[in-house]
Structure 1
Amino acid sequence: MSPALKTFTFPDGHISFTYPEAWTVRTVLPPDGLAGVEAIVADASGNDLLTLANGVNAGCTGGPVSRQVFDQAAVPGMTAPNGTEPSFGFVAESYGKGDAFFMGLTDPRSLKEGEGVSSWCNLVPTANGGLFTRVHFNDPGFPNKGAAKAWMATDQYAQLKALLLSLNYA
């Protein structure tokens, strides 16, 4: 049975999402006077699970990595101003020091698999700047790719994915 859901809408009224009613969302201003508002989603125990920053104006830079995509899906409620439909993704990237794991929204180009692809960018353009999403993992996120894939079978993974897929820009 699916948990009951609540809806959070950012203060500017543009971006909303649904989340399990036992979870909480708090808003904070980004550090160092950066633009936007951050929404931090925590589980019923108070563990921070996800940060979403709305109205940000930073960009992405990256270098070549080796990427394996574990999961991806379209997020139709978040069409970018240029017509691009951001995607949900869960990936592992290797760049010499082991694996790093990323989960959130991204431009579909950041879900290209293989060697020498540009590293993950979790900033998607919106009409009011951009939306940054980051699921919180420990460092390292998982001891190996097998553990990351096993996490995909948990309720927490399903709930985080459903939250990210529910994102809507009005």
Structure 2
Amino acid sequence: MRTTSLLSIALVAAIGLSGCTGTSTESGSADATSSSTPSSPRTPSSESSSEPSSEPSAAPGTTASGAATPGATPGATPDATADAAPAADATARPDVGPSLRDPSTQLLTTTDGLYSFVLPVDWKAMTVEPATAPDYGAGLSRTAYSILDGTGVEVATFAGGVPGDGGALPSPGHVLLDSEELPGLSQQVEIVDLPVSYVFDHYRDPMTGGTVYLARLHLGPLPADGTYGIPLGAVPLGSNGLVVFTARFDETRFADPAAARAWMASGEYAAVKAMFTSLTFNG
């Protein structure tokens, strides 16, 4: 099954906002929120260390690395014998087991089996309500997670099976801090023949005037003028609509761009980047 024509329109509009590879100086932002995009992650109130653990990860289904259910504390112990429930069940737990890449990481697979990515062994994935925007008969499998670090602070949000809403708005003024093209993930894009990249940058929030630091995926060339299309972090993978995957921070985490650049040398940043660059579509 292919994604809907509305999704194609949304992607073409978003991609049309991008230019050639490059960076830009910071300018005002016109960011807006797509109706089909999950809510932005809450901003950590203080710096916390999330260095990936050196302890070996637990076997799949064990309580050591299971995800907390909605309404429970981040450290809640899941039922080790529970089978993965259908994606429609908002309380379904992801399948979390050992990562073949690194014994200090665990491999998370969404409850519908369609998406996988790696996390440090002490991070958790808590299921949340998926987007409710109509998919116009596409039959999308929807999953959504809040990714928590070892202290229970939200680091990122992930949503799969997100329908396109047929429109895109510009988000200008992005200043690039880091990027990496992902050929493997690019091959899993069905609608268009465009590259997928990991991006970490900062821009001005048009509502608060504050600086936002955002790690995410991006489809298409990196725009030379720093103007991206909203929803930020949205990429069409396989035949299941959009993936929207972001990690958002603000001035309570980084006092200025120099502090964000310094953080890029840390183990926590390496874990955040590995989480995005390891994403695969299993359908």
Question: When the two structures are aligned, how many residues end up with a matched partner?
Answer: 167
Question: TM-score of the superposition, structure 1-length normalised?
Answer: 0.84
CA separation in 1, counterparts of 2:224 and 2:204? Answer: 11
Identity %: 26
Q: Which one has more relative contact order, counting CA pairs under 8 Å at least 6 apart? A: 2
Structure 2 residue runs of 5 or longer lacking an equivalent are: 1-53, 55-101, 135-141
Compared with structure 1, are the counterparts of its residues 45 and 140 closer, same or farther at alpha carbon in structure 2 (3 Å cutoff)?
A: closer
Instruction: Give the strand-richer structure, 1 or 2.
Output: 1
2:153 pairs with 1:53: no
Q: Which has the larger radius of gyration?
A: 2
Q: How does 1:10-159 map to 2 (within 5 A)?
A: 10-30=110-130, 33-34=132-133, 36-59=142-165, 61-63=168-170, 65-78=172-185, 79-81=188-190, 82-94=192-204, 97-109=209-221, 111-114=222-225, 117-119=227-229, 121-126=232-237, 127-138=239-250, 142-159=254-271
Once the two structures are TM-superposed, the CA of residue 87 in structure 1 deviates from its matched residue by 0.9
Helix, strand or coil at the partner of 1:91: strand
Q: State whether residues 100 and 140 of structure 1, in contact with CA within 8 Å, keep that contact through their aligned partners in structure 2.
A: no
Find the residue that maps to 1:164 and give its secondary structure: helix
Amino acid at match of 2:151: S
Matched, 1:165 2:277: yes
Q: CA deviation at 1:64?
A: 5.3
TM-score by length of 2: 0.53
Would the aligned equivalents of 2:115 and 2:281 in 1 still touch at CA under 8 Å? yes
RMSD (Å), alpha carbons: 2.5
1:97-136 deviation per Cα after TM superposition (whole angstroms, max 9, x unaligned): 3532211111133x32336x23562100122011001103
Structure 1 counterpart SS, 2:246: strand
